[in-house]
Structure 1
């Protein structure tokens, strides 16, 4: 990493590459939201494009109520982490690497780093830490790879490690790496205000209305027990927690919530339609739950 990482770079996201079309093009869409008497809702007519281009803008995560990080590709097929400010509308390079690719950015528990799965020059996929003050990056867990997805609890990353089957692990120490589950989905989410890490169990599935459906499970990292929150939304693989007891998933262009304390079925709360866009995949919610960011796939063909 060179010294120019100490400076902030603002760039225009007017990019494009035929190499990216094969993996799909995605944009980030912002929605205003509100909670009233415990009910979460989308404010009609609030949808706004954050990005608008052929290319990969994906994996959003709020680091505070005004700023969000995400993974984005350039015209050469390189992937970097960007910071977006809702107040200024500006994009900032968190990384600018020509020989590495960065994905799945999150804010660490200490708040000093943006973590990211980094594909290195030899194709190793390990977790790196990128200081928010643009200092030199640090490699974390040098002996753990290939990392797919992850989330944080108590300054330790619970990581989905590629394999047959993949494994969800939690390294309590270098000598004590605990396997929490096997054959899990790509959403690894800490349940708010708990010591539980949650995931989709893809080891067994049922078919509901012709769509694959998986169970949502949790592993309590303090109690060392597993629990079950019922079935996920059929045909969907991404979920987030809106609060300790409310899950959000998307199927096609529709959003659904589930109240786990009430053993509630999935309830549709909105449909998000935008010309030129198809299904919703990943999602991110702001800390105050007043803004939701969706990843939507572009339908347009070049």
Structure 2
């Protein structure tokens, strides 16, 4: 069994969402053509325990993330202007991986119930009753492709990349042996994902309608997560370092920043704001 298959098995088993002690830091992201820098870190979670899976609101005014409270995880909204947090859920189960819906009225999140049931739900921002988005599909991670189409990491063996059409209530797989990072590629009609089909993890772009895919790059060694800037540059992290690669322009990953000066390490998830001027990074507590 190769090392990446072992790594993937560990990752799948942890999608009961292992509660690592993590924090989320927000940085200013400065970009001048291909030169990047990060400045002015703010700990937006400031919470003992698990704080993870940040995603920006579509207008960039806030960040949704999952955060530990009373032994479980609920969803928090951080307001960038006021620098305040508001809890959006309080359920018997735990919520993870929040993303604002395209119509901006709701956010979607994974709900892991006390009996082990795990489904994708839709939650109103006004804290009214949520509803199930996709029945009978154990979603681990997801991304909105359009207002009616969701692409998901589904907990099969091996995990599969699946398309759900909410309008016609149909579901179909488009790839397998994938990692947890699935994202809409800016200014395209494609999704990026990390494939574990080969010895080294590879990043691909895929068309959810046709399943046609294109190799983009090998992933940074040891990293499961990436994010896209608005101009189509990928950013990944490893321990204290950030790296960038722009498909079609860069041949290799280039180091762009270090968190060592901020005494931060253990980079995992990261997300760039819609305008490209902020980046939220999950690090060890």
**TM-score, length of structure 1 as denominator length:** 0.82
State the shift of 1:244 in Å.
Answer: 4.8
Residue correspondence of structure 1 range 236-255 to structure 2 within 5 A:
236-255=223-242
- The alignment status of 1:24 with 2:36, answered yes or no, reads no
Aligned to 1:126: 119
Instruction: Report the Cα distance in structure 1 between the residues aligned to 2:25 and 2:169, rounded to whole angstroms.
Output: 43
Aligned residue among 48, 55, 80 for 1:61: 55
Q: Secondary structure at 1:103's aligned position in 2?
A: strand
| CA–CA distance in structure 1, aligned partners of residues 47 and 88 of structure 2 | 20
Contact 1:60 1:71 in 2 (8 A): yes
SS in 2 for 1:193: coil
Secondary structure, aligned partner of 2:181: coil
Q: CA deviation at 1:111?
A: 1.4
Do 1:192 and 1:241's aligned partners in 2 also have CA atoms closer than 8 Å? yes
Tell me how many residue pairs correspond in the alignment.
265
Query: Which structure 1 segments of 5+ residues have no match?
Result: 1-21, 207-213
Aligned to 2:11: none
Structure 1 residues 228 and 57, CA gap change in structure 2 (3 angstroms): same
1:134 Cα offset (Å) = 2.7
Partner SS, residue 266 of structure 2: strand
TM-score (norm 2): 0.87
- How far residue 31 of structure 1 moved from its aligned partner, in angstroms, is 0.9
Q: Which residue of 2 aligns with 1:163?
A: 156
Structure 2 CA distance for aligned equivalents of residues 274 and 58 of structure 1? 22
Q: Is the 8 A contact 2:270 2:281 kept in 1?
A: yes
Does 1:192 pair with 2:179? no
Alignment counterpart, residue 108 of structure 1, candidates 101, 109, 127: 101
Asked if residue 153 in structure 1 is aligned to residue 142 in structure 2, the reply is no
For structure 2, list consecutive stretches of 5 or more residues without a partner in the other structure.
1-17
1: distance between equivalents of 2:88 and 2:160?
A: 29
Q: Distance in 1 between matches of 2:212 and 2:171?
A: 16
Determine whether 1:227 maps to 2:214.
yes
Q: Evaluate the alpha carbon distance shift between residue 263 and residue 39 of structure 1 in structure 2; reply closer, same or farther with a 3 A threshold.
A: closer
Say if 1:65 and 1:40 are closer, same or farther in 2 by CA, change over 3 A: farther
Whether the 8 Å contact between 1:205 and 1:215 is mirrored in structure 2 is no
Pair 1:274–1:137, CA change in 2 (3 A): farther
* Residues 191 and 244 in structure 1, CA contact (< 8 A), matched pair in contact too: no
What CA RMSD, in Å, does the superposition of the two structures yield over aligned residues?
A: 1.8
Runs of 4+ in 1 over 6 A off after TM superposition: none
Matches of 1:40 and 1:193, distance apart in 2: 21
Structure with the greater alpha carbon radius of gyration: 1
Shift of 1:175: 6.1
Q: Give the whole-Å Cα distance in 1 for the aligned partners of 2:47 and 2:261.
A: 14
**1:41 maps to what in 2?**
36
